[in-house]
Amino acid sequence: MMTKRQTLALLASGLALTALPTAHAQAPADNWPSKPIRWVVPFPPGGAMDAIARTLGEKAGKALGQPFVIENKPGAGGNIGADYVAKQPGDGYTMMITSIGMATNKPLYGKLSYDPVKDFAPVSLLAVVPNVLVTNNTQPQVKTVADVIAAARKEPGKLTYASAGNGTSIHLAGEVFTSLAKVEMLHIPYKGSGPAVSDLLGGQINYMFDSITSARPHIESGKLRALGVTTAKRSSALPNVPTIAEAGLPGYEVSPWFAVFMPAATPKPIVNKLNAALLAAMKDPDVVKRFETIGAEPVGSSPEEMAQHLARESERWSKLITERGIRLD
């Protein structure tokens, strides 16, 4: 017959054995990654988002000992790729780079097949790529942001601005502009930045709040004239171009950001390990140089800071989208 002390000892050893798998499960990052990591880009190849993913993926993959395999899953303003990633297992082998759409798509579309907050684990804010208000040579008299506002007030609803599509940061930058300036301008959505810029260059469109990545070559060639960047501070890619706020519209600020998310069930140690690898890669000289080429301003953040940023952005854009009555469904 067991004594009380023997019984307690047996129970204690049983509990210790039971705890062993739990302790092992709490350290999933030890052997991660053991195979290639799929990095989903929910937009076509060739843009700033794709370039950032490929640049960081190459460096972070070498550091982690496994390659990042880029998969472009474009469509529906990033919703197709986001829905795909939301439904993947939280094993640490699927991640997504996304943009301001993570904060805007819910109010824009009304009903989504995924929840931007509940279905994802934030990893890190990566970078901001400013938009820039540009015009063409058909309007030589328009040289400042103040000139744009004056012209729009003179002819309400006549002047046009192009975008890469409804709900993109280029479109929303225009909505913020017209809202703050209290002017009416006609929004012309295109299927992508390329055809929009083409019509802007051809003189069919008056203005565009284009990404600095695609606008800068045309600005440097003299085909487009930069009037102001949308961010709160000047861009190092166009240091002589003022912000829209300092050039005639105080309080204006739109900072198109790019960030990484994983499926919500991804263990925190894996999220933290990926976060550390990405932040280290962003300091690599090759990455810094590539970011400068595409006009990206590196940011970096902790997962917690990214979650707070998403909450702030979601609140801001939901308010604007509701006030302006913008719907895409």
pLDDT band at 329 (very low <50, low <70, confident <90, very high): low
Q: What is the pLDDT of residue 157?
A: 94
Residue 48 identity (one-letter amino acid): A
Q: Which of 5-9, 110-114, 213-217, 300-304 has the highest mean pLDDT?
A: 300-304
Q: What is the pLDDT of residue 13?
A: 45
Decide if 261 contacts 96 (C-beta within 8 A).
yes
> Is residue 249 pLDDT above 90, yes or no?
yes
- Structure pTM? 0.82
Q: Of 191 and 218, which is predicted with more confidence?
A: 218
Give the whole-angstrom CA distance, residue 209 versus residue 316.
Answer: 19
> Is residue 197 pLDDT above 70, yes or no?
yes
CATH of domain 131-229: 3.40.190.10
Q: Looking at domain 37-127+256-324, which of 3.60.150.10, 2.102.10.10, 3.40.1080.10, 3.40.190.150 is its CATH number?
A: 3.40.190.150
pLDDT digits (tens, 9 = 90+) for 75-109: 887 889 999 999 999 999 999 999 998 999 989 88
**CATH 3.40.190.10-classified regions of the chain:** 131-229
> Is residue 41 pLDDT above 70, yes or no?
yes
**CATH 3.40.190.150-classified regions of the chain:** 37-127+256-324
Token pair listed for 98: 């996304």
Q: Which helix (H) or strand (E) holds 46?
A: none
pLDDT band at 58 (very low <50, low <70, confident <90, very high): very high
Q: What is the 3-state secondary structure (H, E, C) of 110-170?
A: CCCCCCCCCCEEEEEEEEECCEEEEEECCCCCCCCHHHHHHHHHHCCCCCEEEECCCCCHH
